[in-house]
Protein backbone atom coordinates (compact mmCIF):
# COMPACT_ATOMS: atom_id res chain seq x y z
CA UNK A 1 0.00 0.00 0.00
CA UNK A 2 1.39 3.39 -1.02
CA UNK A 3 1.97 6.20 1.45
CA UNK A 4 -0.61 8.99 1.67
CA UNK A 5 0.71 12.55 2.03
CA UNK A 6 -0.65 16.09 1.97
CA UNK A 7 0.65 18.47 -0.69
CA UNK A 8 0.36 22.22 -1.16
CA UNK A 9 -1.72 23.68 -4.02
CA UNK A 10 1.41 25.05 -5.71
CA UNK A 11 2.82 21.53 -5.97
CA UNK A 12 -0.21 20.44 -7.99
CA UNK A 13 0.03 23.67 -10.01
CA UNK A 14 3.60 22.72 -10.94
CA UNK A 15 2.61 19.17 -11.88
CA UNK A 16 -0.06 20.55 -14.20
CA UNK A 17 2.42 22.86 -15.90
CA UNK A 18 5.36 20.59 -16.71
CA UNK A 19 6.30 20.73 -20.37
CA UNK A 20 9.05 19.47 -22.64
CA UNK A 21 8.03 19.77 -26.27
CA UNK A 22 4.35 19.62 -25.34
CA UNK A 23 2.43 19.49 -22.06
CA UNK A 24 3.31 16.40 -20.02
CA UNK A 25 -0.41 15.99 -19.34
CA UNK A 26 -0.53 14.33 -22.77
CA UNK A 27 1.58 11.44 -21.40
CA UNK A 28 -0.78 8.65 -20.32
CA UNK A 29 1.41 7.52 -17.41
CA UNK A 30 2.22 11.00 -16.06
CA UNK A 31 -0.55 12.23 -13.72
CA UNK A 32 -3.68 10.74 -12.16
CA UNK A 33 -5.72 13.66 -10.80
CA UNK A 34 -8.90 12.60 -9.01
CA UNK A 35 -11.78 14.82 -7.88
CA UNK A 36 -13.45 13.11 -4.90
CA UNK A 37 -16.32 15.58 -4.57
CA UNK A 38 -19.95 14.84 -5.35
CA UNK A 39 -20.56 14.38 -9.08
CA UNK A 40 -22.77 17.48 -9.40
CA UNK A 41 -19.99 19.64 -7.91
CA UNK A 42 -17.46 18.09 -10.27
CA UNK A 43 -19.65 18.74 -13.31
CA UNK A 44 -20.11 22.38 -12.37
CA UNK A 45 -16.36 23.05 -12.12
CA UNK A 46 -13.18 21.10 -11.41
CA UNK A 47 -9.42 21.35 -11.80
CA UNK A 48 -8.33 20.90 -15.40
CA UNK A 49 -7.95 17.22 -16.51
CA UNK A 50 -9.33 15.85 -13.19
CA UNK A 51 -11.49 12.73 -13.28
CA UNK A 52 -14.36 12.16 -10.88
CA UNK A 53 -14.30 9.20 -8.47
CA UNK A 54 -17.72 8.01 -7.38
CA UNK A 55 -18.96 6.06 -4.37
CA UNK A 56 -20.82 2.76 -4.61
CA UNK A 57 -23.84 1.67 -2.54
CA UNK A 58 -21.52 0.78 0.36
CA UNK A 59 -19.96 4.26 0.38
CA UNK A 60 -16.67 2.99 -1.02
CA UNK A 61 -14.89 4.84 -3.82
CA UNK A 62 -14.40 3.22 -7.20
CA UNK A 63 -12.22 4.77 -9.85
CA UNK A 64 -12.99 5.63 -13.47
CA UNK A 65 -12.36 2.63 -15.73
CA UNK A 66 -9.67 4.41 -17.76
CA UNK A 67 -7.49 5.08 -14.69
CA UNK A 68 -4.63 2.60 -14.25
CA UNK A 69 -3.11 3.84 -11.02
CA UNK A 70 -0.34 1.26 -10.87
CA UNK A 71 1.37 2.69 -13.98
CA UNK A 72 1.31 6.41 -13.09
CA UNK A 73 4.15 8.64 -11.94
CA UNK A 74 1.99 10.99 -9.86
CA UNK A 75 -1.31 10.38 -8.07
CA UNK A 76 -3.19 13.36 -6.61
CA UNK A 77 -6.67 13.60 -5.12
CA UNK A 78 -8.75 16.48 -3.77
CA UNK A 79 -12.20 17.13 -2.37
CA UNK A 80 -13.83 20.39 -1.32
CA UNK A 81 -11.57 21.48 1.54
CA UNK A 82 -9.75 18.64 3.36
CA UNK A 83 -6.65 20.02 5.09
CA UNK A 84 -5.36 17.19 7.29
CA UNK A 85 -5.19 13.42 6.96
CA UNK A 86 -7.02 12.93 10.25
CA UNK A 87 -10.25 14.44 8.89
CA UNK A 88 -11.29 11.19 7.13
CA UNK A 89 -13.24 13.20 4.58
CA UNK A 90 -13.89 12.19 0.97
CA UNK A 91 -10.36 12.94 -0.22
CA UNK A 92 -8.80 10.77 2.50
CA UNK A 93 -11.18 7.86 1.83
CA UNK A 94 -10.52 8.11 -1.90
CA UNK A 95 -6.76 8.29 -1.33
CA UNK A 96 -6.95 5.13 0.75
CA UNK A 97 -8.49 3.29 -2.20
CA UNK A 98 -5.94 4.76 -4.61
CA UNK A 99 -3.05 3.75 -2.32
CA UNK A 100 -4.00 0.08 -2.65
CA UNK A 101 -3.00 0.10 -6.32
CA UNK A 102 -0.50 2.95 -6.60
CA UNK A 103 3.26 2.39 -6.76
CA UNK A 104 3.98 6.01 -5.81
CA UNK A 105 2.79 8.13 -2.85
CA UNK A 106 -0.79 9.39 -3.10
CA UNK A 107 -1.04 13.13 -2.45
CA UNK A 108 -4.05 15.03 -1.12
CA UNK A 109 -4.25 18.73 -1.98
CA UNK A 110 -4.32 20.79 1.22
CA UNK A 111 -7.48 22.89 1.29
CA UNK A 112 -8.96 20.99 -1.64
CA UNK A 113 -10.78 22.55 -4.57
CA UNK A 114 -11.75 25.64 -2.59
CA UNK A 115 -8.18 26.67 -1.88
CA UNK A 116 -6.71 25.61 -5.22
CA UNK A 117 -9.38 27.36 -7.29
CA UNK A 118 -9.05 30.51 -5.19
CA UNK A 119 -5.33 30.61 -5.99
CA UNK A 120 -5.58 29.46 -9.62
CA UNK A 121 -9.09 30.26 -10.91
CA UNK A 122 -7.79 30.07 -14.50
CA UNK A 123 -7.21 26.32 -14.07
CA UNK A 124 -10.87 25.57 -13.34
CA UNK A 125 -13.02 24.03 -16.05
CA UNK A 126 -16.22 22.13 -16.73
CA UNK A 127 -14.59 20.18 -19.58
CA UNK A 128 -14.48 16.43 -18.88
CA UNK A 129 -13.09 14.69 -21.98
CA UNK A 130 -9.85 15.65 -23.76
CA UNK A 131 -8.28 14.31 -26.92
CA UNK A 132 -4.51 13.73 -27.04
CA UNK A 133 -4.18 16.71 -29.39
CA UNK A 134 -6.03 18.94 -26.92
CA UNK A 135 -3.78 17.78 -24.07
CA UNK A 136 -0.65 18.38 -26.13
CA UNK A 137 -1.80 21.92 -26.87
CA UNK A 138 -2.86 22.91 -23.37
CA UNK A 139 -1.39 26.23 -22.28
CA UNK A 140 1.33 25.76 -19.68
CA UNK A 141 2.27 28.34 -17.07
CA UNK A 142 5.64 29.06 -15.47
CA UNK A 143 6.37 26.86 -12.47
CA UNK A 144 5.97 28.35 -9.01
CA UNK A 145 9.19 28.44 -6.99
CA UNK A 146 7.87 30.30 -3.94
CA UNK A 147 4.10 30.13 -3.53
CA UNK A 148 2.35 33.26 -4.86
CA UNK A 149 5.69 35.11 -5.04
CA UNK A 150 8.30 33.70 -7.42
CA UNK A 151 7.84 31.97 -10.80
CA UNK A 152 10.26 30.56 -13.38
CA UNK A 153 9.65 29.98 -17.08
CA UNK A 154 10.74 30.57 -20.66
CA UNK A 155 10.60 33.64 -22.88
CA UNK A 156 7.18 32.68 -24.28
CA UNK A 157 5.77 32.84 -20.75
CA UNK A 158 7.31 36.26 -20.29
CA UNK A 159 5.72 37.56 -23.49
CA UNK A 160 2.22 36.17 -22.82
CA UNK A 161 0.17 38.98 -21.33
CA UNK A 162 -2.63 36.61 -20.29
CA UNK A 163 -0.18 34.52 -18.23
CA UNK A 164 1.26 37.61 -16.57
CA UNK A 165 -2.27 38.78 -15.79
CA UNK A 166 -3.43 35.39 -14.47
CA UNK A 167 -0.41 35.06 -12.18
CA UNK A 168 -0.54 38.75 -11.21
CA UNK A 169 3.14 39.15 -12.05
CA UNK A 170 4.50 42.61 -11.30
CA UNK A 171 8.13 42.18 -12.37
CA UNK A 172 9.83 40.06 -15.06
CA UNK A 173 13.57 39.34 -14.91
CA UNK A 174 14.83 38.20 -18.32
CA UNK A 175 18.22 36.47 -18.52
CA UNK A 176 19.06 36.47 -22.25
CA UNK A 177 21.47 37.76 -24.86
CA UNK A 178 18.92 40.12 -26.43
CA UNK A 179 16.13 42.09 -24.83
CA UNK A 180 13.25 40.15 -26.41
CA UNK A 181 10.69 41.33 -23.84
CA UNK A 182 11.14 45.07 -24.45
CA UNK A 183 7.97 45.20 -26.58
CA UNK A 184 5.67 43.88 -23.83
CA UNK A 185 2.76 46.18 -23.18
CA UNK A 186 1.47 46.14 -19.62
CA UNK A 187 2.10 47.20 -16.07
CA UNK A 188 5.04 44.85 -15.48
CA UNK A 189 8.55 46.06 -14.77
CA UNK A 190 10.94 44.36 -17.21
CA UNK A 191 14.58 43.90 -16.17
CA UNK A 192 16.95 42.54 -18.81
CA UNK A 193 20.20 40.83 -17.79
CA UNK A 194 22.36 40.35 -20.91
CA UNK A 195 23.97 36.94 -20.35
CA UNK A 196 24.47 34.16 -22.92
CA UNK A 197 23.79 30.49 -22.13
CA UNK A 198 27.49 29.64 -22.35
CA UNK A 199 29.87 27.89 -19.98
CA UNK A 200 32.14 30.96 -20.16
CA UNK A 201 29.38 33.53 -19.57
CA UNK A 202 29.54 35.51 -16.31
CA UNK A 203 26.34 35.31 -14.29
CA UNK A 204 28.03 35.35 -10.88
CA UNK A 205 28.74 39.11 -10.97
CA UNK A 206 25.00 39.73 -11.42
CA UNK A 207 23.75 37.40 -8.65
CA UNK A 208 23.97 40.05 -5.92
CA UNK A 209 21.89 42.73 -7.58
CA UNK A 210 19.43 40.31 -9.22
CA UNK A 211 18.75 38.67 -5.85
CA UNK A 212 18.41 42.12 -4.28
CA UNK A 213 15.94 43.13 -6.99
CA UNK A 214 13.85 39.97 -6.60
CA UNK A 215 13.98 40.28 -2.82
CA UNK A 216 12.77 43.89 -2.90
CA UNK A 217 9.65 42.85 -4.82
CA UNK A 218 8.96 39.77 -2.72
CA UNK A 219 9.37 41.74 0.51
CA UNK A 220 6.28 43.79 -0.37
CA UNK A 221 4.33 40.81 -1.74
CA UNK A 222 4.86 41.55 -5.44
CA UNK A 223 5.13 38.57 -7.78
CA UNK A 224 8.24 38.03 -9.88
CA UNK A 225 8.80 35.89 -12.98
CA UNK A 226 12.33 34.83 -13.96
CA UNK A 227 12.71 33.78 -17.60
CA UNK A 228 15.40 32.67 -20.03
CA UNK A 229 15.07 31.47 -23.64
CA UNK A 230 14.09 27.86 -22.90
CA UNK A 231 13.52 28.19 -19.16
CA UNK A 232 16.11 25.60 -18.21
CA UNK A 233 19.64 26.94 -17.65
CA UNK A 234 20.01 30.66 -16.94
CA UNK A 235 16.71 31.21 -15.14
CA UNK A 236 17.22 28.11 -12.99
CA UNK A 237 20.70 29.30 -12.01
CA UNK A 238 19.23 32.62 -10.88
CA UNK A 239 16.37 30.90 -9.02
CA UNK A 240 18.86 28.64 -7.20
CA UNK A 241 21.09 31.60 -6.33
CA UNK A 242 18.11 33.50 -4.92
CA UNK A 243 16.95 30.57 -2.80
CA UNK A 244 20.47 30.12 -1.42
CA UNK A 245 20.48 33.73 -0.28
CA UNK A 246 16.80 34.12 0.65
CA UNK A 247 16.39 30.81 2.49
CA UNK A 248 20.01 30.56 3.73
CA UNK A 249 20.33 27.10 2.20
CA UNK A 250 23.14 25.20 0.52
CA UNK A 251 23.57 24.81 -3.21
CA UNK A 252 22.49 21.18 -3.01
CA UNK A 253 19.34 22.04 -1.05
CA UNK A 254 18.36 24.82 -3.46
CA UNK A 255 19.21 22.62 -6.47
CA UNK A 256 16.98 19.78 -5.26
CA UNK A 257 14.15 22.20 -4.45
CA UNK A 258 14.17 23.74 -7.94
CA UNK A 259 14.41 20.28 -9.54
CA UNK A 260 11.29 19.27 -7.65
CA UNK A 261 9.49 22.30 -9.09
CA UNK A 262 10.75 21.62 -12.62
CA UNK A 263 12.64 18.33 -13.14
CA UNK A 264 14.05 19.20 -16.59
CA UNK A 265 16.04 22.30 -15.52
CA UNK A 266 19.79 22.18 -15.85
CA UNK A 267 22.21 25.11 -15.34
CA UNK A 268 25.22 24.61 -17.60
CA UNK A 269 28.58 23.58 -16.14
CA UNK A 270 29.86 27.15 -16.02
CA UNK A 271 26.82 28.39 -14.07
CA UNK A 272 27.09 25.40 -11.73
CA UNK A 273 30.65 26.40 -10.86
CA UNK A 274 29.49 29.98 -10.32
CA UNK A 275 26.74 28.72 -8.01
CA UNK A 276 29.41 26.87 -6.05
CA UNK A 277 31.33 30.15 -5.75
CA UNK A 278 28.06 31.82 -4.70
CA UNK A 279 27.69 29.23 -1.93
CA UNK A 280 31.12 30.26 -0.63
CA UNK A 281 30.05 33.91 -0.83
CA UNK A 282 26.72 33.42 0.98
CA UNK A 283 27.72 30.78 3.53
CA UNK A 284 31.39 31.45 4.01
CA UNK A 285 32.30 27.91 2.94
CA UNK A 286 31.69 25.46 0.10
CA UNK A 287 29.36 22.80 1.49
CA UNK A 288 28.19 21.16 -1.74
CA UNK A 289 30.39 18.82 -3.73
CA UNK A 290 29.37 19.63 -7.32
CA UNK A 291 31.34 16.65 -8.63
CA UNK A 292 28.77 14.36 -7.01
CA UNK A 293 26.30 12.24 -9.02
CA UNK A 294 23.37 14.64 -8.40
CA UNK A 295 25.06 17.29 -10.56
What tens digit of pLDDT does each residue of 177-197 get? 888 776 566 678 999 999 999
Q: Mean pLDDT check: name the lowest of 6-15, 176-185, 277-286.
A: 176-185
Give residue 17's pLDDT band: very low, low, confident or very high (50, 70, 90): very high
Find the mean pLDDT for residues 91-106: 94
Residues of the chain with CATH 3.40.250.10: 4-136
Note the helical H segments in 39-89: 39-44
pLDDT at 57: 79
pLDDT value at 167 more than 80: yes
d(CA 267, CA 270): 8
pLDDT value at 294 more than 90: no
Percent of the chain topping pLDDT 70:
98
Cβ neighbours for 87, distance < 8 A, ≥ 6 positions apart: none
Residues of the chain with CATH 3.90.190.10: 143-283
Find the mean pLDDT for residues 141-151: 98
pLDDT at 87: 78
d(CA 98, CA 275): 41
Instruction: Give residue-wise pLDDT tens across range 224-238.
Output: 999 999 999 999 999
Find the mean pLDDT for residues 144-167: 96
- Give domain 143-283's CATH number out of 3.40.50.300, 3.40.50.10280, 3.90.1200.10, 3.90.190.10: 3.90.190.10
pLDDT at 121: 98
Find the mean pLDDT for residues 39-45: 97
Give residue 40's pLDDT band: very low, low, confident or very high (50, 70, 90): very high
pLDDT value at 63 more than 70: yes
Q: Which fold has domain 4-136?
A: Oxidized Rhodanese; domain 1 (3.40.250)
Whose CA is closest to 149, among 10, 286, 35, 255? Answer: 10
- Let me know: does 138 contact 23? Beta carbons within 8 Å: yes
**Mean pLDDT, the chain, integer:** 94
DSSP state letters, 79-91: -SS--SGGG--HH
Instruction: Give residue-wise pLDDT tens across range 71-83.
Output: 899 999 999 999 9
Find the mean pLDDT for residues 93-103: 93
pLDDT at 184: 65
**Neighbouring C-beta atoms of residue 92, cutoff 10 Å:** 20
Cβ neighbours for 44, distance < 8 A, ≥ 6 positions apart: 126
d(CA 175, CA 194): 6
Q: Mean pLDDT check: name the lowest of 10-14, 62-66, 126-130.
A: 62-66
Give residue 65's pLDDT band: very low, low, confident or very high (50, 70, 90): confident
Q: Mean pLDDT check: name the lowest of 12-16, 54-58, 211-215.
A: 54-58
pLDDT at 11: 98
Amino acid sequence: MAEIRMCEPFELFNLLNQCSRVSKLAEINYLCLIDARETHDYRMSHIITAKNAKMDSENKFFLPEAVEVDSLQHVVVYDSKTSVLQEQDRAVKCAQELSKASICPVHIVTGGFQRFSALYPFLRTAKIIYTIIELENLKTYPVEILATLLYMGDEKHGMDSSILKDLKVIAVVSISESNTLKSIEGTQTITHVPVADSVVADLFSSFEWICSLIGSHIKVGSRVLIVSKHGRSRCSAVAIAFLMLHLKCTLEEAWKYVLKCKPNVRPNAGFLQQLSDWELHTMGTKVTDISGPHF
